[in-house]
């Protein structure tokens, strides 16, 4: 159909639309305008970068000056695995010297002999001479008194009202970061506007900030700045040392400090009556020490050995302990070996991540029977990250991202040392189907402990 015919059919259309051509001058003008705009925007971006860059460099420098905190790690063989960067005490040599120093403080040769007779008598159920009993009681009293020097009182405030009280123990003096670190129970995670600390060594009352919490084991790490203290005040800070909970055995003496009888700064002595080495916990396992120490509900605090070193934590409100079969009404201690990874993570201001499985290592016998090497999932936390990703009881986890895992402690180490909450990781596992194990990979968005 031609143009005239269209106009005849629609007589109201009288104009013919013709696209106007741009002149060369106008095209050149537009090009110049675009070029000038690009130059202006480039200059603005350069100026913005010039003024903002020092701020980012300063922030990066501040972050780099925060020394990484690494704690001593004890293994089943009663040895110390030392990190590359080692604050005191770290190396095997340092740890042994600190232990010897503690013994020199508490025990003379004669007292060592008394303690040896005491331990042997307790193990054999024999009665002791009254003089030996008094001597041993004096020694234990001195150990508890010295250890309690590391305790601090913590109070949470809302506005000007105290809403909770608990205790903590100073476990690290991060001199390079101008702060001391305090281990406390989960009460410190309760909402409060501010947390104030009172030290037994005459230091001024100071405000603490939470560095991290672990709701699985019911612990928190808090930091108190030492920047405003003089050298004399810093020397008055009493820092506990970590003992090796793997060296504890049946009938060994153990001392509970903190609030075993609910009142702050109380202490009690007892014996280990039962040891359960591999109690299951989410993404980890722990060593449980049952004692003959009768305690009321809400009892909590810290366990020390005869060298005055920290070997565990206890809290009657932690469900893990009850689920592990601890006798009701008696103090049961979670060994420090179980909390080492999460404690190191929190000490560095990071939140430990959570996969949400209970598991055990596939042993050699099962491997020979055809089961893949890895961590057998015995239970999955309902509505947890693993549950939401489709991991089920009976699956065998072999890798998290690129890290191979053959034991539940490997999972704890990978999660706390490499990955953060809300991070998505690839979990490689095997699932039995029609009598065979099928390899599969799932994506899991990690939670927080």
Question: How is 73-86 classified by DSSP, letter by letter?
Answer: EE-TTS-EEPPSS-
Query: What pLDDT score does 106 carry?
Result: 53
Given CA atoms 72, 166, 146, 149 in this order, what sign does their dihedral have?
positive
- Low-confidence residues of the chain: pLDDT under 70: 1-30, 32-35, 37-42, 44-133, 135-136
Tell me where in the chain the CATH 2.40.10.10 domain(s) lie. 245-347
The tens digit of pLDDT for each residue in 21-67 reads: 556 666 666 676 666 766 666 676 666 655 555 554 444 444 445 56
The C-alpha atoms of residue 421 and residue 439 are separated, in whole angstroms, by 26
Query: What pLDDT score does 59 carry?
Result: 45
Query: What pLDDT score does 349 carry?
Result: 86
Class of domain 353-448: mainly beta
Tell me where in the chain the CATH 2.30.42.10 domain(s) lie. 353-448
Query: What pLDDT score does 331 carry?
Result: 93
Nearest to 307 by CA among 169, 107, 145: 107
State the pTM of this model. 0.73
167 near 258, Cβ under 8 Å? Answer: yes
DSSP, collapsed to helix, strand or coil, labels residue 396 as strand
Nearest to 120 by CA among 266, 313, 253, 284: 253
What are the structure tokens assigned to 412, written together? 């704890």
Nearest to 210 by CA among 191, 227, 228: 191
Which CA distances in Å does 285 have to 60, 358, 395? 37, 8, 18
What are the structure tokens assigned to 50, written together? 């010039």
Query: What pLDDT score does 128 carry?
Result: 65
Cα angle: 254, vertex 259, 260; to 5 degrees:
45
| Backbone torsion region of residue 56, taken as left when φ is above 0, otherwise alpha when ψ lies between -120 and 50, otherwise beta | alpha
Residues sharing a CB contact under 8 Å with residue 315, sequence separation 6 or more, in sequence order:
185, 186, 218, 299, 300, 321
What are the structure tokens assigned to 17, written together? 């639309």
Quickly tell me which residue has 């143009």 as its tokens. Answer: 3
Which CATH number describes the domain made up of 245-347? Answer: 2.40.10.10
What are the structure tokens assigned to 6, written together? 């269209």
The C-alpha atoms of residue 175 and residue 71 are separated, in whole angstroms, by 14
Query: What pLDDT score does 159 carry?
Result: 86
Pairing of strands 206-214, 375-380: unpaired
């Amino acid at each position: 159909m031609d143009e005239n015919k269209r106009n005849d059919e629609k007589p109201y259309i009288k104009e013919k639309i013709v696209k106007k051509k741009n002149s060369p001058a106008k095209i050149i003008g537009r090009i110049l305008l675009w070029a000038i705009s690009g130059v202006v925007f480039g200059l603005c971006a350069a100026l913005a970068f010039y003024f903002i860059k020092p701020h980012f460099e300063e922030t990066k420098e501040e972050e780099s000056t925060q020394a990484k905190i690494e704690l001593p790690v004890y293994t089943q063989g009663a040895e110390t695995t030392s990190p590359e960067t080692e604050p005191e005490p770290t190396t095997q040599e340092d740890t042994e010297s600190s232990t010897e120093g503690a013994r020199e403080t508490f025990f003379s040769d004669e007292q060592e002999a008394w303690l040896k007779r005491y331990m042997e008598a307790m193990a054999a159920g024999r009665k002791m001479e009254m003089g030996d009993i008094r001597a041993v009681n004096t020694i234990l009293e001195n150990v508890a008194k010295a250890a309690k020097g590391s305790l601090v009182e913590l109070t949470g405030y809302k506005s000007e009202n105290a809403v909770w009280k608990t205790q903590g123990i100073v476990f690290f003096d991060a001199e390079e970061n101008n702060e001391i670190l305090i281990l406390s129970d989960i009460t410190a995670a309760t909402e409060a506007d501010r947390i104030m600390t009172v030290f037994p060594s005459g230091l001024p009352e100071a405000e603490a900030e939470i560095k991290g919490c672990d709701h699985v084991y019911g612990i928190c790490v808090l930091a108190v700045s030492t920047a405003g203290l003089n050298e004399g005040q810093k020397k008055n800070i009493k820092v506990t040392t970590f003992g090796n909970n793997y060296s504890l055995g049946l009938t060994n003496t153990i001392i509970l400090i903190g609030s075993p009888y609910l009142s702050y700064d109380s202490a009690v002595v007892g014996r280990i009556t039962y040891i359960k080495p591999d109690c299951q916990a989410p993404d980890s396992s722990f060593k449980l020490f049952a004692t003959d120490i009768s305690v009321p509900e809400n009892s909590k605090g810290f366990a020390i050995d005869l060298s005055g070193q920290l070997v565990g934590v206890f809290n009657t409100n932690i469900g893990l302990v009850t689920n592990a079969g601890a006798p009701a009404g008696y103090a049961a201690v979670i060994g420090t070996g179980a909390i080492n990874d999460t404690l190191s993570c929190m000490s560095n201001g990071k939140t430990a991540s959570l996969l949400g499985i209970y598991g055990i290592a596939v042993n050699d016998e099962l491997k020979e029977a055809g089961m893949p090497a890895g961590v057998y999932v015995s239970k999955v936390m309902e509505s947890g990250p693993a549950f939401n990703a489709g991991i089920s009881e009976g699956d065998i986890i072999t890798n998290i991202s690129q890290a191979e895992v053959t034991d539940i402690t490997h999972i704890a180490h990978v999660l706390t040392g490499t990955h953060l909450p809300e991070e998505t990781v690839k979990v490689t596992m095997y699932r039995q189907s029609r009598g065979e194990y099928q390899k599969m990979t799932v994506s899991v968005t990690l939670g927080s402990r």
